[in-house]
């Protein structure tokens, strides 16, 4: 039987693809932040903290409705392997609100006993007491947006935390018993030098965390950073500097025992993010909350973005869907291929064939010949993956996999 690798917080496991396709990962969007960071274009809002309780009540209603939609044909709840509280800043909810949301997930889905349950947190909003409460409530993975160990850069990003808050939050999370911690950092920031970046990576390594996500800054339209870049007030790191920063981090992390299992993600063995692998393996997920995206039942759909509108709809038990798209087989094959190529493992060709009852070669024809000849791809037994050079030029490959 064809298997693809998935990771638990402790050990590597494998599960048959057809079994994984019957599961659903749960994403819960918590759209509150104390202030907006200058680069952020997520669906998140400052100044609406009083909406937290009505929003949680709306989310509980949606989880119940989603559980019914996702039910198996015999009426049993659908199995879920991962739950992810993302945002926004989920750590702005109280422990009791998080517990109620988790209970609704357990009631409406058949959540695995060893499910990976992640909560995103801002290091500036965490207390030791809250971390202990979250751990007791069942959160077993903490993901923190730290971004940099440089105080000036943090200020320039509009972050509310200090470098000290990062170290303290990791320490407190350990004391609270979190077995798996991720920290996000960013490179290519305006004013960020190689020496800033080295310092950040060195201090991140000192924390002995299980997982690191490293993202290059993307200037998104509608953000203060977009305006300031166009006014010439800030200059993000150029492509060459970003490539050097990426390579530096990759070398240092690999030396320290981390594996770059996806373009922007490194983990110690056995600590890959199972939830994010759901996306890269193109497996089903239900996103609940304002603006959340789902991929389920051959459709991709998203909720209304405005928290007040979301609450209003759920108050009267109306499905909060705003947009929807049918994913046909051709598109599903394209997406499965290019998402898998983002991972270090790459695309497992027998799994692809079993999933779509079509060999990958028949699907792709000669569309990849140019990038193969340019050395961007490599085949190894049953696997197709990006070469080292291909990882820097991944878009060249991904574009050729899109449907015509
Ligand atoms: S804390 Fe995160 S979600 Fe909130 S504004 Fe900053 S980057 Fe965006």
- pLDDT digits over 305-329, tens only? 999 999 999 999 999 999 999 999 9
Q: What is the mean pLDDT of residues 183-206?
A: 96
d(CA 220, CA 363): 34
- Residue 198, classified by CB atoms within 10 Å of its CB into exposed (0-12), middle (13-18) or buried (19+), is middle
**In this predicted model, what pLDDT tens digit does every residue of 102-126 receive, in sequence order?**
999 999 999 999 999 999 999 988 9
Question: Do 168 and 144 contact (CB within 8 A), yes or no?
Answer: no
Probe ligand 1: pick from 43, 86, 87, 158, max atoms within 8 Å of CB? 87
The pLDDT confidence band at residue 151, using thresholds 50, 70 and 90, is very high
The pLDDT confidence band at residue 45, using thresholds 50, 70 and 90, is very high
How many A from CA of 149 to the centre of ligand 1?
17
Q: What is the mean pLDDT of residues 292-313?
A: 98
Answer whether residue 7 shows pLDDT above 80: no
d(CA 52, CA 123): 20
Residue 252 Cβ contacting ligand 1 at under 6 Å? no
Q: Show the beta-strand stretches assigned E in 110-210.
A: 110-121, 141-147, 180-187
d(CA 358, CA 390): 25
The count of residues in the chain is 404
d(CA 349, CA 177): 39
Return the structure tokens found at 322. 């705003």
d(CA 367, CA 365): 6
**In this predicted model, what pLDDT tens digit does every residue of 323-382 receive, in sequence order?**
999 999 999 999 999 999 999 999 999 999 999 999 999 999 999 999 999 999 999 999
pTM reported for the whole predicted model: 0.94
Answer whether residue 14 shows pLDDT above 90: no
Residue nearest to atom 6 of ligand 1 (CA): 37
Probe ligand 1: pick from 42, 153, 166, max atoms within 8 Å of CB? 42
Question: Do 304 and 313 contact (CB within 8 A), yes or no?
Answer: yes
In this prediction, residue 1 carries a pLDDT of 42
Which residue is associated with the tokens 């402790």?
10
- Please give the number of the atom of ligand 1 that sits closest to the Cα of 35: 5
Question: Do 154 and 37 contact (CB within 8 A), yes or no?
Answer: no
The shares of helix, strand and coil residues in the chain, as percent rounded to the nearest 5, are 45, 25, 35
Which residue is associated with the tokens 């911690």?
181
Question: Do 286 and 27 contact (CB within 8 A), yes or no?
Answer: yes
Residue 215 Cβ contacting ligand 1 at under 6 Å? no
Residue 87 Cβ contacting ligand 1 at under 6 Å? yes
d(CA 323, CA 291): 10
Question: Do 65 and 104 contact (CB within 8 A), yes or no?
Answer: no
Give the helix/strand (H/E) hosting 390.
helix 388-392
Which residue is associated with the tokens 């530096």?
248
Answer whether residue 283 shows pLDDT above 60: yes
How many A from CA of 185 to the centre of ligand 1?
13
Reference 276, options 41, 82, 121; nearest CA is 82
Q: Which residues lie below 8 Å from residue 328, measured CB to CB, with a gap of 6+?
A: none
In this prediction, residue 35 carries a pLDDT of 94
Q: What is the mean pLDDT of residues 137-146?
A: 97
């Amino acid at each position: 039987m064809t298997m693809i690798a998935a990771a638990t917080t402790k050990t590597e496991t494998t599960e048959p693809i057809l079994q994984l396709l019957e599961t659903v990962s749960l994403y819960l969007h918590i759209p509150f932040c104390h202030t907006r960071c200058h680069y952020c274009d997520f669906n998140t809002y400052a100044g609406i903290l009083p909406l937290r309780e009505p929003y949680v009540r709306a989310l509980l209603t949606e989880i119940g409705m989603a559980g019914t939609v996702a039910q198996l044909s015999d009426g049993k709840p659908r199995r879920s392997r991962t739950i992810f509280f993302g945002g926004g800043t989920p750590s702005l909810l109280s422990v009791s609100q998080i517990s109620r949301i988790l209970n609704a997930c357990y009631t409406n889905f058949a959540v695995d006993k060893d499910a990976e349950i992640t909560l995103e947190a801002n290091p500036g909003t965490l207390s030791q007491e809250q971390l202990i409460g979250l751990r007791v409530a069942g959160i077993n993975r903490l993901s923190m947006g730290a971004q940099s160990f440089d105080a000036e850069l943090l200020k320039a990003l509009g972050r509310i935390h200090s470098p000290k808050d990062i170290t303290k939050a990791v320490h407190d999370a350990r004391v609270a018993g979190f077995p798996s911690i991720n920290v996000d950092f960013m490179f290519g920031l305006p004013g960020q030098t190689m020496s800033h970046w080295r310092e950040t990576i060195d201090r991140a390594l000192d924390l002995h965390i299980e997982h690191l996500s490293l993202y290059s800054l993307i200037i998104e339209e509608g953000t203060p950073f977009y305006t300031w870049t166009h006014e010439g007030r800030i200059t993000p790191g150029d492509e060459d500097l970003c490539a050097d920063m990426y390579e530096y981090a990759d070398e240092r992390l690999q030396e320290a025992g981390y594996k770059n299992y996806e373009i922007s993600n490194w983990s110690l063995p056995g600590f890959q993010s199972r939830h994010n692998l759901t996306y890269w393996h193109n497996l089903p997920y239900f996103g609940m909350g304002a603006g959340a995206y789902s991929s389920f039942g051959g459709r991709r759909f998203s909720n209304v973005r405005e928290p007040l509108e979301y609450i209003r709809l759920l108050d009267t038990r109306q499905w909060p869907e705003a947009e929807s798209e049918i994913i046909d087989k051709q598109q599903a094959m394209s997406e499965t291929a290019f998402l898998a190529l983002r991972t270090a493992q790459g695309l497992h060709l027998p799994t692809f064939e079993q999933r779509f009852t079509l060999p990958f070669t028949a699907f792709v024809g000669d569309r990849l010949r140019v990038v193969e000849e340019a050395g961007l791809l490599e085949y190894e037994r049953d696997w197709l993956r990006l070469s080292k050079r291909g990882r820097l030029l991944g878009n060249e490959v991904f574009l050729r996999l899109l449907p015509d």
